[in-house]
């Protein structure tokens, strides 16, 4: 009744922002992401007959804030008649700060819980359960370049290319490792209800998805970077025009964008993306990694640099 799983966060190049069904947590738009290799969440789930309630520990601290979402996810995977669970989560990177920690956490939680009950769900079913807990988590069940399609019924996932097939690198500039001001679930709904750009964002997404899919198929780094930066800035424009505005950037985020622009002008193969936090993720070709790391390290306001390649989807790695 105990299992341990590990999952890596993923970073969207074409973003998921908005839901078509909040109850089932279905995305209003498709998205394409890359799964990372070296950042990860390790999740242990132990179902214990003697426990009176679920217990969650995150990085060594009891956590009651995330517990309701964890309990709902445990119920979805193991059924409401299950024993209570002792859930222990350890991440090797800052959590709740726009580094997709909920994606790796819920992907690992679903895999560990299914293994703890000796379930035999396939990857698509596990992804569906992870996506119900947190939309982006569904993508962390798969490695490499992953597309999550929108659907009114259920989500669908597809690996567009493996990590080994196009081994890009990611340099993360950590600009403030503090929790975000507003969670993405709440902020998405705010955008849907109040942003005048939301409708156009949803309408245009298929065009960006098609461009990204073609760029990935052709391993065209320039084309992928162009559509990824455009899609990222469009998502943040939707957020900024929400009422009240949702602004995740800080001055270091803008300074990092400028650094990436300068690198691009010098012919370095790099592009940026930014999620629900001030961190900037620079995606680059392997040969550019040292230049990108050096330039971002020297940028004002950057606190720390994390480096990673692309990796595989969530896996169980221990159980009894």
Cite the beta strand spans of the chain per DSSP E. 2-7, 10-14, 19-21, 26-27, 31-35, 41-48, 55-58, 61-62, 84-91, 145-149, 156-161, 169-174, 270-273, 280-284, 304-309, 315-319
Distance between CA atoms of 259 and 236, rounded to whole angstroms? 19
Residue with tokens 């909920």: 102
Task: Report the candidate in 63, 62, 69, 59 with the shortest Cα–Cα distance to residue 89.
Answer: 59
Neighbours of 221 (CB within 10 A): 18
CB of 296 to ligand DP6, least distance (A): 20
CB of 11 to ligand DP6, least distance (A): 7
Closer residue to ligand DP6 in complex, CB, 34/295: 34
Distance between CA atoms of 199 and 221, rounded to whole angstroms? 29
Binding site residues, ligand DP6, CB under 6 A: 12, 15-17, 25, 31, 102, 134-136, 184-185, 188, 275-276
CB of 239 to ligand DP6, least distance (A): 9
Closer residue to ligand DP6 in complex, CB, 102/113: 102
How many residues are recorded in the chain? Answer: 320
CB of 184 to ligand DP6, least distance (A): 4
Closer residue to ligand DP6 in complex, CB, 16/142: 16
Closer residue to ligand DP6 in complex, CB, 47/242: 242
Distance between CA atoms of 210 and 213, rounded to whole angstroms? 5
Distance between CA atoms of 148 and 153, rounded to whole angstroms? 13
Percentages (nearest 5) of helix, strand, coil residues in the chain: 40, 25, 35
CB of 275 to ligand DP6, least distance (A): 4
Distance between CA atoms of 92 and 250, rounded to whole angstroms? 24
Distance between CA atoms of 138 and 220, rounded to whole angstroms? 26
Closer residue to ligand DP6 in complex, CB, 43/117: 43
CB of 319 to ligand DP6, least distance (A): 26
Closer residue to ligand DP6 in complex, CB, 117/155: 155
CB of 265 to ligand DP6, least distance (A): 27
Closer residue to ligand DP6 in complex, CB, 31/41: 31
């Amino acid at each position: 009744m105990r299992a341990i799983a590990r999952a890596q966060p993923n970073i969207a190049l074409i973003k998921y922002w908005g839901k078509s069904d909040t109850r089932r947590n279905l995305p209003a738009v498709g998205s394409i992401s890359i799964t990372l290799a070296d950042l990860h969440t390790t999740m242990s789930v132990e179902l214990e007959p003697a426990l009176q309630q679920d217990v969650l520990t995150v990085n060594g601290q009891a956590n009651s804030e995330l517990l309701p979402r964890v309990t709902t996810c445990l119920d979805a995977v193991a059924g409401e008649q299950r024993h209570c669970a002792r859930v222990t989560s350890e991440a090797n990177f800052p959590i709740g700060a726009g580094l997709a920690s909920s994606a790796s956490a819920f992907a690992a939680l679903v895999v560990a819980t299914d293994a703890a009950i000796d379930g035999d769900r396939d990857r698509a079913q596990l992804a569906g359960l992870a996506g119900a807990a947190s939309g982006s988590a569904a993508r962390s069940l798969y490695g490499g370049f992953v597309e999550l399609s929108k659907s009114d019924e259920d989500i669908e996932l597809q690996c567009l290319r493996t990590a080994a097939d196009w081994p890009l690198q990611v340099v993360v500039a950590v600009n403030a490792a503090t929790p975000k001001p507003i969670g993405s679930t709440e902020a998405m709904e705010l955008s849907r209800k109040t942003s005048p750009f939301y409708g156009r964002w949803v309408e245009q997404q298929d065009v960006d998805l098609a461009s990204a899919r073609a760029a990935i198929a052709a391993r065209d780094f320039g084309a992928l970077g162009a559509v990824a930066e455009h899609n990222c800035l469009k998502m943040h424009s939707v957020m900024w025009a929400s009422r009240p505005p949702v602004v995740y950037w800080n001055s270091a985020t803008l300074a990092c964008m400028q650094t990436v622009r300068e690198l691009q002008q010098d012919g370095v193969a790099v592009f940026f993306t930014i999620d629900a936090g001030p961190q900037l993720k620079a995606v680059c070709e392997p040969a550019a990694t040292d230049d990108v790391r050096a330039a971002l390290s020297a940028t004002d306001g950057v606190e720390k640099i994390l480096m990673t390649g692309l990796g595989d989807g969530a896996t169980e790695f221990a159980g009894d």
